[in-house]
Amino acid sequence: MNDETLPRELASGEDIFVADGAGGIEIPIFAVGQDMAVEGLPLSPEQLNWIKAVGFKGAAKQQTLVPGPDGGIAAVLLGLGGGTCGEPSGTSELLLGLLPQSLPSGSYQLSLPAQDPTLAAIAWGLGSYRYGRYKTKCGGPRCVSLRLPEGADRSLVLGTIEAVRLGRDLINTPASDLAPADIEAAARELALRHGAQIDVTVGDDLLAQNFPMIHAVGRASPRAPRLIDMRWGREGARTVTLVGKGITFDTGGLDIKPPSGMLLMKKDMGGAATVLTLAHMIMSQKLDVRLRVLIPTAENSISGDAFRPSDVLNSRAGITVEVGNTDAEGRLVLADAIALADEEAPQSLYVFATLTGAARSALGPDLPAMFTNDDVFAADMMSASVAIGDPVWRLPLWAGYDAKLESSVADMNNVWDTPMAGSITAALFLKRFSTKAQRFAHFDIYGWRPSAGPLGPRGGEPQAARALYAMLAREACQ
C-alpha cells in the first residue's frame, strides 16, 4: 500500500531517500543565501558564468539547474534569501521541501552541511507528498531521491514523514470513502503496528456507555457514530491524552450550511487525523509516556432523526446542553470524549479540532489557534512550533466570556448568540468538561493547506502535530 490509497498501512518514506549502499551519481544541491558568493562553490568558470547569465542571486525559493559539460545536470542551486528564507520560521532547511516536486528524476545530495540535518530531511519528505488516489492519469513515474543528510535522525525522519502522510491521506479522502468506520480501521491498523490496546463503542452502545452527545450528533446518519479509545505505553509513565474531532462530513445539520460552506467539510475530521499523526510519532519514537487517544467520530447528517436547534442534550459529565446551533456539533462530540479523559485526571490533555471559522478569521488558515491554562507551555510551544515550520499562536481562555454560554433552560448553551469571540467561547465550552487535567490545551486548526508551499501541496494538513511532538519529546528528556 502507498500514499495514493486510503491508509490501512502507513506509507513508508524510504522511497524518497537514497538506499544505503546504493551506487550511482548523486547530483549536489547547494543552498545559497543572498549574502553568499557563488564563486566559492566547487563549480567551473563556465558554470559560474551560467549562474550569472540566468540571474541567480540566491533569492528565497529561487532554483537553478547547473548544466555539466555533457549536457546533464551538474548541480542544483536553491536560494535561501537574505535571512528570512521567505518563510515565517526563518529556518533555511524548510525550503528544501520545494525541490522534490520540481527536480528531474535522479538522486541528489546536500553538498553544504545543514544546520539541522533532521529538519532538512523532514522538509524533503513533506515536500515529496502527493495525493493521487483518484488520478487515472499520473503523468508517468518520477523517482527523485535524496541521500539522507549526515547527522540526521533516520528514525525520527521516517516516523515523521509516515505520520504526516497518514494524516494528509485521511483528510484528503472524501466522505464517500471515509466514514466513522474507516477512521476506526485506520486507528486499529496503527494500534496493531505499535502494540496498542484499542476499544470502540458504536451506535446505540454509546447511549448504554453514557456518551449521549456523540450519539445525538451521529444518529441521523446511516453510518454509525462511535468513540475510539486507544492506549499505549507503560503504566506509571507521564500521562498524555489526545482528543481529536472526527466529524467525517458536516452538513451543518438542520442549521444547514450553504453549498460553499460544505465544499471542504470532508476535512472536518482533521482533528482525528492529527491525533493519529501525533500518536504514530509518539509510538514510533517510543517516547516514555502513557498515551491515550480518544476520537469521537460521526457524520453530522440530516434526517427525521437529526437533533434539532433548542434540543437539550445530556452529556457524560452530567452537564445539560441546549443546542443553539446544530452546526456547532464538533464541541458536543468532543465534550463527551473530554469528560471521559478527565475522569483519569491526566497530566496533559490535548484537544485537536477543526472547530471554528472564527479562528480562521482571526489568524488565517496557516496559524492554528492554541488555548491553554499553562503559560510556560504556551510560550515554549509557540517558540518550538515556529522553529520547525508548524506554527501555532495563543489566544486567551478569557474567563470573562464564560458567562456568554449560559442558557435559560439548561446548564449551558453550545454557542454564544453573537458572531463575536467564537473561537474563545468554543474553547471555554470544551474547558468546562475538563476540571481535573493538570495541563489543558486546545488547538483550533484549519486542517488544510489552501495553496502549495515548501512543506507540501494544497490539501489536508495535520497542523500542530509536529510541533506538539517536539514539545513532548523535549519534556520526555527532562
Residues involved in catalysis: 257, 331
SS3 181: helix
| Exposure string over 161-194, b if 16+ CB within 10 A, otherwise e | bbbbbbbbbbbbbebeebbbebbbebbbbbbeeb
In degrees to the nearest 10, what's the CA dihedral of 244, 129, 34, 69? 170
SS3 440: strand
| Residue 116: count of CB within 10 angstroms of its CB | 18
Give the neighbor-by-neighbor strand order of the sheet with 321-322.
312-313, 321-322, 412-413
Q: How many residues does the chain have?
A: 478
Beta strands in 195-330 (DSSP E): 197-202, 226-232, 238-244, 246-250, 289-300, 312-313, 321-322
* CB distance 129 to 2 below 8 Å: no
> CA dist 464 to 64, 67, 278, 392, 467, Å?
32, 40, 9, 7, 5
* CB distance 464 to 373 below 8 Å: no
CA nearest to 199, candidates 243, 231, 236: 231
Place of cell 490535548: 350
* CB distance 196 to 232 below 8 Å: yes
CA angle 228, 232, 236 (to 5 degrees): 125
Measured between alpha carbons, how far apart are the two ends of the chain, in Å? 38
* HSE of 366, CA atoms in CB hemisphere, 13 A: 14
- Residues linked to residue 32 through DSSP beta bridges, in sequence order: 79
